[in-house]
């Protein structure tokens, strides 16, 4: 079983990863309508995950 601090460190790492992926997808120029729709759905899922992780981490440690 991992400690609370280890879990928080893992969550922070995942949040950084998700935020980087959001930036990558936002910067990508879609090549067609299907790709654009797929990216929009993927981006929405990433934004939901980022908000979830931020909520958990902000509750646990308001400074970041």
- C-alpha separations of 62 from 36, 47, 54 in Å: 35, 20, 10
pLDDT at 63: 62
Asked whether the predicted pLDDT for residue 31 surpasses 80, the reply is: no
Residue 62 token pair? 């308001």
- Quote the pTM value: 0.71
pLDDT at 36: 84
pLDDT at 17: 97
Q: End-to-end distance of the chain based on CA atoms, in angstroms?
A: 24
């Amino acid at each position: 079983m991992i400690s609370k601090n280890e879990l928080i460190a893992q969550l922070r790492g995942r949040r950084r990863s998700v935020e980087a992926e959001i930036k990558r997808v936002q910067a990508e120029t879609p090549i067609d309508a299907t790709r654009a729709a797929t990216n929009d759905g993927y981006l929405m899922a990433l934004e939901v995950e980022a908000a979830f992780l931020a909520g958990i981490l902000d509750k646990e440690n308001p400074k970041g």
